[in-house]
Structure 1
Amino acid sequence: MSLVLTKASLERAPWLLSKTLNIVSQDAEFLRSSYPLFDQWFVSKVLPGIHTGVRTLLIEERDSMVVGLLILKHTETEKKLCTLRVRPSFESKGLGVRLFQTAFQLLGTERPLLSVSEITAPRFERLFTYFGFAQEGVYQGRYIPMVDELAYNGLLDPAPLPR
């Protein structure tokens, strides 16, 4: 089952917010591993962005457990896949491909801006090749000290390290 949280879905069904927050709090460790300082980022950026209509959150559940997470940013100037997480026990079963395809549909592009750390990049290599994503920038210590962040399908601000 997918739970999609957008400005429009919140206006139609305000209870979705409390359900989403309950799901997130129940499975916080899995979600925290998707982004450094996940809790702070979620409260300060994701939730306000959903309320203003510039972010979308999708939670994929199986048997009341979060198995996938997708957070998107869609503004006039940026179509970004901020977070895509698949629980390890569900990797290599097609869920990641389906989440990418859902992101493409929701963002209106098959080449969203995204970044991954050099640590997690090897896990995404097959998917990035499959979708034809191109690495376009490297940012040292952007999210994790002493770890490069690799940008695909565009550049993050500020300017990347020279190649």
Structure 2
Amino acid sequence: MSTPHVIVVMGVAGTGKTTIGPLVAAALGVPYAEGDDFHPPANIAKMSAGVPLDDADRGPWLDALGAWAHGRDGRGGVVSSSALKRAYRDRLRAAAPGIVFLHLTGDRALIEARMTGRTGHFMPTALLDSQFATLEPLGADEAGVAVDVSGTPEQIADRAVAALHHLEPVA
């Protein structure tokens, strides 16, 4: 990657999007936006109650993320978003075609352990299975990289930045 892109740090809950995103943004010298901050209050209430969001719930959230990414076009930025389905990523790309995805991946047991150990987050571990069931990994025609979340946050961010620098443009 030679020009500033908006990078969407994606993955199931507990992969470290909120931890890794700011580290990647700092390494690239671009701003970071927390994707959860774009959720309407009704979505947060639903997830806090252990109810998975449906596509209708996610629409306004994805549109808000897409608008932020569009506003950063040519200047770069990093934003976190689960972006679990191809249709969600397509919606984000429709708003900001230059988006690049950083898919944080990992072993379910590791992710669940990390979720169990965190405090102050509205997403319960009970929704992890629904997240994995919904996840559609990046397609070969989607601009992005997948990075394993084992190791320290700094190690993960270093691997992510290196992978992003070696990302080939998608035709």
User: TM > 0.5 between the two?
Assistant: no
The TM tier, using the shorter chain, reads 0.3 to 0.5
Tell me the TM-score normalised to structure 1 length: 0.36
Task: Write 1 or 2 for the structure with the bigger share of strand.
Answer: 1
Greater relative contact order (Cα < 8 A, sep 6+): 2
Task: Write 1 or 2 for the structure with the bigger share of helix.
Answer: 2
